[in-house]
Amino acid sequence: MKHLSQVIITSVVTVFSLSSCSLLNDIFNKTTDNSTLISKEAHNESIKNEPIVVVESVATKKDDPKVETKAEPKEEKVTKKTEATKNSTQNASISNNPIEVKIPSSVINGNWTVCIAMGKATSGDERPYIIFDEKTKTMYANNGCNTLNAEYKISNGNIEFINMLSTQRYCHDAQYEMEINQALANAKAISVKAVGNEYYMTFLNIKNEALMTLRKPNLEFINGTWKITKVNNTNCKHKDFELALDLEELKVHGNVGCNIVNGSLLFDASKANSIMFLDLISTMKSCPDLALETEILMALEQTEYYKKGKDEKTLILCDKDNNIVLELSSTTENYTQKQ
């Protein structure tokens, strides 16, 4: 068969190691079929709501005088451009962007879920993802079958992946592997937008066409300690009831009276503003206000969505029907740290 994925897959490797990896740079020399590309505008139609632009890079303009255009040969004696010259021209079209674009490291850093790759929307509970580590400037990804990693450079809205490596597993049900590999191979620039409480990153090719869009929750304001102020729209009379949300470890730790509660955090990539509290366990002391503690634990188990209150000092947790189950207030110390 002639599909690219069967060229990539030469052996079945279940354990990732450098010895089982191969450079993707050579594999991805084949230019992406233009018929699989979609325009940036059409690509962004999948992102609902009015976007607030954080930063957006712009690739080559058609009327840029510095970019060479290859004319149709009229005579047989036409000097063909070497591959090096073509690459040089393409790189110039990206780097000559006159607008200096700076994307904050805190925005790039973290786990991004793939939403669309080469026009194909992802689905399912376990979606492909890309993790950017801004400290080490390394990228780690899963395309639905194989694991990839590479070094990367981002400058003025342009992106470059260096020394891309991949495992060589064969997966008969890999729905997005080829599309994600093509997007990574042809990515020359990125744009990042904020839509509500989420960030969207789009990879663009040399023609400023959208290749792939990824999503990451904007959860910086959630991280920290919160006082429980309302339970099911009823004021909480205990000022020492509080929850600590640790996004790095995806853990929750809380004091709901005389008992301590611990559990895990989960963010569903298929839902906007998703947050869930799983595997909740609590000490079993007999407390004076045990009924309220039980109500708080039930509210946490019912939580599926979050939203900001009047400002970042207030966090509202809602159930699957968007009914408010808990209202939290940021501690003074916690809010100071966020500023």
In order of 71, 73, 80, 81, 82, the CA distances from 76 in angstroms are: 13, 7, 11, 14, 17
CA angle 251, 253, 257 (to 5 degrees): 160
CA angle 286, 287, 290 (to 5 degrees): 100
DSSP code for 7: H
Name the 3-class secondary structure at 222: coil
Please tell me which residue, 224 or 55, carries the higher pLDDT value.
224
DSSP code for 71: P
pLDDT band at 95 (very low <50, low <70, confident <90, very high): very low
Q: Give the highest mean pLDDT range of 12-21, 40-49, 321-330.
A: 321-330
Which residue ranges form the domains of the chain, and what is each CATH number? 4-58+89-217 (2.40.128.270), 224-338 (2.40.128.270)
DSSP code for 19: G
Q: What is the pLDDT of residues 176-218, one digit of tens each?
A: 999 999 999 999 999 999 887 788 999 999 999 999 999 988 7
Q: What local confidence, expressed as pLDDT, does residue 102 receive?
A: 56
User: Residue 190 has which token pair?
Assistant: 């990125």
Across the range 284-297, mean pLDDT stands at: 88
Across the range 103-116, mean pLDDT stands at: 86
> Which sign, positive or negative, has the C-alpha torsion 217, 221, 226, 231?
negative
Q: What is the pLDDT of residues 17-61, one digit of tens each?
A: 333 333 333 433 333 443 334 444 445 554 444 333 344 333 333
Q: What local confidence, expressed as pLDDT, does residue 264 receive?
A: 93
For residue 29, give the H/E element and its range.
none
